[in-house]
Amino acid sequence: MLLIQNARIASENPPALIEGDVLLSEGRIQAIGKGLAAPDGTRVIDACRRILLPGMFDAHVHFREPGFEAKETIATGSEAAINGGITGVVMMPNTSPAIDSATVVGHVLGIARRTARIPVFTSGCVTKGRAGKELAGIDGMRNFGVRMLTDDGDTTGDPAVLMRAMQYATEFGMFFASHCEVPELAGPRALNEGAMSYRLGIKGSPACAEEIIIDRDIRLAHATGAHIHIQHVSSKLGMETIRWWKSRGDVRVTAEVSPHHLLFNDEDIGDYDTHYKMNPPLRTRADNEALLEGLIDGTIDLIATDHAPHTPFEKSQDFVSAPNGITGLDTALVSLHHHFVATGKFGWDLIVKRFSAEPRRFMGLPAVSIGQGQPADLILFDPDRETTFTADFMKSKSSNTPFLDKTLRGSVDLVVLGENVLLERP
């Protein structure tokens, strides 16, 4: 048994934190209140007014296995998630081989069962090999529990193929996640088209390359009755397009934003720093502000890291040649606290709603909460402690992040899932 005393308990219902004690036993929350007595043999943790939250859930991660294990494995990726207070993830299918059939899904989920200490789900491809030509083995993947279909890493280029997939798979309760990009417009995918691309002398990727496909894929979902999820929204107009379609009320559309598209913009790239190179690219300060507004007002439903590990050698190449992506699992919650909660831009209720409850509902899972009788799936967060993101601190196999060796305010001190304490910092 475990008794957490004097915690400030957060939920998705604003605004106040509730002070109290939480008693855990047999993998569930047995009691909540003030001044709870500790039964014999109970371990007691004084939370010292730290924040007690449901575990986070990340609906967009790249664990690279199979095929790119030098960057990340399911084991190391799931440990990075735990390190950041995340107790469930959904993998993207751009592995080698791609996750496009029941055989590969079964293989990947088998690895996850053997090596991960948290629930690991996977999406499946829309098309074979993510090539955009033929439909993947959708029914077989569905039989293994796959609900999300995506060719993430690229757009499903042929709208007729995507429409046919929507017509087929929607009947089975599956939905579609869209990486939105017109490749002919996006060019080298290096950085946003604008003042910074001109200054650095690199051909930029205009925001309209993303925004055109956002509108296209929502229109296809509208025509077929499918649920479409727009991944890693990066621009103001893209967010406003999603808001307009949602206002109609006749199409099911959800959207996510990554912490890096909230926090950084193309001005941060500086002298060709590849830690800030990602796809979609970092855009402008005005886009940061619009995305934050959309997250707060509900236009954007989820926070998702788009955790994309790469080796140091790959990221040490020149800016155009280096691969896109940054890691995010170790850093997301602390960075969101440091930049937004600690500065009063939004509260813990929004973190719980957008980074824990809604991502689970999105995947057809029950939201977890700190409530009597609920499963134990929680984290203890110290808002006053600091975290320095050294390579030794991070559990991801890769450390391609702008936060490398930076110190931020906040610390994930405890992670509990079921009967297991997955992480405890002294």
Q: What is the pLDDT of residue 58?
A: 98
- pTM to 2 decimal places: 0.97
Cis peptide before 15 (omega within 30 of 0): yes
| List of domains in the chain | 2-52+372-386+407-424 (2.30.40.10), 55-362 (3.20.20.140)
Mean pLDDT of 171-187: 96
Q: What is the pLDDT of residue 29?
A: 98
Question: Has residue 170 got a pLDDT over 80?
Answer: yes
Q: What is the DSSP string of 234-283?
A: --HHHHHHHHHHHHH-SSEEEEEE-HHHHH--GGGGTTT-GGG--SSPP-
Q: Are the CB atoms for 346 and 296 separated by under 8 Å? A: yes
SS3 316: coil
| DSSP 8-class letter at 31 | E
Of 125, 106, 61, 51, which is closest to residue 87 (Cα–Cα)? Answer: 61
Q: What is the pLDDT of residue 24?
A: 98
Spatial distance between the Cα atoms of 306 and 172, rounded to a whole number of angstroms: 26
| DSSP 8-class letter at 274 | G
Distances (CA, A) of 263 to 29, 258, 385: 35, 9, 21
Q: What is the pLDDT of residue 15?
A: 77
- Residue with tokens 């507004």, as numbered in its chain: 293
Token pair for residue 98?
A: 């791609």
Q: Are the CB atoms for 278 and 308 separated by under 8 Å? A: yes
| DSSP 8-class letter at 404 | T
Q: What is the pLDDT of residue 316?
A: 96
SS3 229: strand
Q: What is the pLDDT of residue 16?
A: 81
Q: What is the pLDDT of residue 340?
A: 98
| Rounded (5°) CA angle 171-119-360 | 55
Q: Which amino acid is at 190?
A: A
Q: Are the CB atoms for 377 and 54 separated by under 8 Å? A: yes
Q: What is the pLDDT of residue 371?
A: 95
pLDDT digits (tens, 9 = 90+) for 192-249: 999 999 999 999 999 999 999 999 999 999 999 999 999 999 999 999 999 999 999 9
Token pair for residue 349?
A: 């209720």
Q: What is the pLDDT of residue 14?
A: 77
Q: What is the pLDDT of residue 256?
A: 98
- List active site positions: 306
pLDDT digits (tens, 9 = 90+) for 352-363: 999 999 999 999
Spatial distance between the Cα atoms of 142 and 398, rounded to a whole number of angstroms: 31
Q: Bridge partners of 379?
A: 53, 415
Name the pLDDT band for 259 (thresholds 50, 70, 90). Answer: very high
- Residue with tokens 């170790």, as numbered in its chain: 330
Of the listed ranges 14-23, 264-273, 319-328, 377-386, the one predicted with least confidence: 14-23
| Rounded (5°) CA angle 261-263-269 | 80
Element (H or E) spanning 21, and its range?
A: strand 18-25
Cis peptide before 97 (omega within 30 of 0): yes
- Residue with tokens 């030794």, as numbered in its chain: 392
Beta strand 227-230 pairing with 86-91: unpaired
pLDDT digits (tens, 9 = 90+) for 94-130: 999 999 999 999 999 999 999 999 999 999 999 999 9
Token pair for residue 272?
A: 């060709």
- Residue with tokens 């986070």, as numbered in its chain: 56
Spatial distance between the Cα atoms of 231 and 60, rounded to a whole number of angstroms: 8
Q: What is the pLDDT of residue 384?
A: 97
Q: What is the pLDDT of residue 376?
A: 98
pLDDT digits (tens, 9 = 90+) for 16-61: 899 999 999 999 999 999 999 999 999 999 999 899 999 999 999 9
